[in-house]
Amino acid sequence: MTLAGGARLLSGPPLDQGAEPLAAHRARLGPRPRGGLGLIETLKASGLNGRGGAGFPAWRKWALVAERAVGRAIVVVNAAEGEPASHKDQTLLRHRPHLVLDGAQLAAETVGASHVIIYLSRTCDGQRRALEHALHERRIAGDDAVRPSVVTCPHRYVAGEASALVNGINTGVAKPMAVPPRAFERGVDGRPTLVQNAETIAHAALIARFGAAWFRSVGTAASPGTALISVCGAVVCPGVYEISLGVTLDHAIGCADGMSEAPQAVLLGGYFGTWLPADRIGTLHLEQAELDAAGASFGCGVIVVLPRSRCGLVEAASVLTYLAAESAGQCGPCVFGLKSVASTMTRIADGDGHSADRALLRRWSTEIAGRGECRLPDGAVRHLQSAMTTFAADLERHLDGARCAVAGRQAPMLPIASGADEWVA
Amino acid sequence: MGRLKRLRVNMIKCDGFGYCAELLPERIDVDSWGYPMVSQKPLTRDLLEHARRAVLVCPVGALRFDEVDR
């Protein structure tokens, strides 16, 4: 069920041809329909969930904004994509900008918005150029009621979190804020604000054209439609692909032409996500019920294959060190807790662990989870706990001061942004 | 009937002074780094006055009442 012939978001010209021009986009998909409250019902029937990581039903977000909007709402397309292993939103902006922009117009017409903002990392020059060219094409064509503006944000892990995004647009400092108020209540300029991930918005643009039943014609009842995945690690062709939800992990990895080495584990869902042992690759279906049962989530669609030749604890220590550095420095349990976890995990990965460290890490996990105003600490704890479970045998060895055969011989393989960016874009 | 009160801490404001945990150990514990861990359990009538003092004494105004449906 690979979507080679049935791809949706990524159907059309090959990705190496750059951005699809407006004329080609229209010829391929037909004109953009108009938005309106009926689209909220269609989104509800489609079962489209947010693809930024949290998986909140799209229609509910749109409805929450629409009922407060009275024509003065703001729509923000969130393409911050701070997750280092995720490239799907950047891929969409660079190659299918008109799909994203169609979705943004539809959202504006539907919820009653006077402004549309495309929010992306300041490091994404190529995406920004593609976007600006696409906006130019649309100005000439002249059928967008709302003229979108582009706002760049610092390249920080949490810059795309909804309250950080609102803060970033309002003040220039993209740090999370205490909620409530949530963006739909009081967001950009104090107005009701729809913050929706770029991929989700692009799906909405297709659902508006082809309908809810079409969207549901692939995927499962609880996880309908397709999703973009970013596959890397020990695979033959790392990259962004599109799958039908409900396929096995093995099938998803197959999009990247399969594994290049014998696998040890898979990180699913991004750095907030879960390490799964390799024996789940053939059995786990990427759909709600099975993911819930496995304690995992699809997150933002990141899939990293860790080969047997690597040490999972070294990778987890590296990710936790990165996440600790990405803390906005606002909430004590995040600032100090993540630092404690990261330095202890690094010590363990280096083979200098103590047997007492396991209990310490467990205690810190319970003390850190749920204690920040944003979800960074929760995500870090989730990563830590799944690493401790999936790499339990290695942890045992490392805590004996022995460490595994491979740790210390190689740099971590998971991509990490080099050096934390400034908070002001 | 009515609504119950519990406490909520704004972690961005909180600087970990810890006075709240001293005044209301029944509902507030401190973590390994000295920051308050506030119980989600509603406040009983006998704790309300202590809770009010904890809210008032916070030097950065990080602690406040939160109402929940009974």
Position A276 in a domain: yes
Helix (H) or strand (E) holding A276: strand A274-277
Straight-line distance from the first to the last Cα atom of chain B, in angstroms, rounded to the nearest whole number = 6
Residue A269 CB: number of other CB atoms within 10 A? 27
Which residues from chain A sit within 8 angstroms of residue B12, using beta carbons?
A: 176-178, 330-331, 373
Nearest CB to B16 within list A178, A332, A340: A332
Contact yes or no for A173/A423 (Cβ under 8 A): yes
Residue A308 in tokens: 């047997």
Q: Which CATH number do you get for residue A252? A: 3.10.20.600
ipTM of this predicted structure: 0.92
Q: Name the domain count of chain A.
A: 3
Position A204 in a domain: yes
The Cα of B19 is separated from the nearest Cα of chain A by a number of Å equal to 16
User: Do A182 and A238 belong to one domain?
Assistant: no
pLDDT of residue A104: 98
pLDDT of residue A417: 76
Segment A302-319 mean pLDDT? 96
The Cα of B2 is separated from the nearest Cα of chain A by a number of Å equal to 22
Strand A193-197 relative to strand A73-79: parallel, antiparallel, unpaired? parallel
For chain B, say whether A343 makes contact (Cβ under 8 Å): no
> How many angstroms separate the Cα of A344 from the Cα of each of A207, A278, A307, A378?
47, 26, 24, 18
Helices (H), A312-375: 312-325, 332-349, 357-368
Segment A119-132 mean pLDDT? 95
Q: What is the pLDDT of residues A365-378, one digit of tens each?
A: 999 999 999 999 99
pLDDT of residue A4: 44
Position A197 in a domain: yes
Position A4 in a domain: no
Smallest CA–CA distance from A368 into chain B, residue: B31
Q: Does the pLDDT at position A405 exceed 90? A: no
- A337 and B12 in contact by Cβ < 8 A? no
Q: Name the domain count of chain B.
A: 1
Segment A389-398 mean pLDDT? 94
The string of DSSP letters for A145-164 reads SS--EEEEE-S-TTTTSHHH
User: Do A24 and A166 belong to one domain?
Assistant: yes
Q: Which CATH number do you get for residue B27? A: 3.30.70.20
Distance of CA A75 to the CA centre of its chain: 19
Answering whether pTM is above 0.90, one says yes
Distance of CA B61 to the CA centre of its chain: 11
- A330 and B12 in contact by Cβ < 8 A? yes
Segment A124-141 mean pLDDT? 96
> How many angstroms separate the Cα of A233 from the Cα of each of A230, A266, A268, A310, A393?
10, 9, 12, 11, 22
Say which residue the tokens 């003065």 belong to.
A72
- Average pLDDT score, chain A: 94
Buried b / exposed e over B5-34, threshold 16 CB at 10 Å, is: bbbebbbbbbebbebbbebbeebbebbebe
B29 is in which domain, residue-wise? Answer: 3-69
User: Do A167 and A289 belong to one domain?
Assistant: no
User: Do A300 and A349 belong to one domain?
Assistant: no
Report how far residue A375's alpha carbon sits from residue A380's, in angstroms, rounded to the nearest whole number: 9
Report how far residue A76's alpha carbon sits from residue A132's, in angstroms, rounded to the nearest whole number: 16
**A52 CB-near residues (< 8 Å, 6+ apart):** A78, A160, A196, A197, A199, A200, A300
Share of chain B above pLDDT 70, in %: 96
Q: Which CATH number do you get for residue A131? A: 3.40.50.11540
* Band of pLDDT at residue A357, cut at 50, 70 and 90: very high
pLDDT of residue B70: 64
User: Do A328 and A376 belong to one domain?
Assistant: yes
User: Do A40 and A179 belong to one domain?
Assistant: yes
Report how far residue A131's alpha carbon sits from residue A113's, in angstroms, rounded to the nearest whole number: 20
Report how far residue A419's alpha carbon sits from residue B33's, in angstroms, rounded to the nearest whole number: 26
Residue A14 in tokens: 């090959």
Half-sphere exposure of A213 (CA within 13 A, CB side): 0
Q: Does the pLDDT at position A168 exceed 50? A: yes
User: Do A243 and A303 belong to one domain?
Assistant: yes
* Band of pLDDT at residue B3, cut at 50, 70 and 90: confident
Contact yes or no for A254/A2 (Cβ under 8 A): yes
Q: Which CATH number do you get for residue A359? A: 1.20.1440.230
The string of DSSP letters for A38-107 reads HHHHHHHHHT-B-SSSS--BHHHHHHHHHHHHTT-EEEEEEE----TT--HHHHHHHH-HHHHHHHHHHH
A259 is in which domain, residue-wise? Answer: 226-307
Residues in A 168-227 with any Cβ partner in B closer than 8 A: 176-178
pLDDT of residue A366: 96
Strands laid side by side in the A193-197 sheet = A149-153, A113-121, A73-79, A193-197
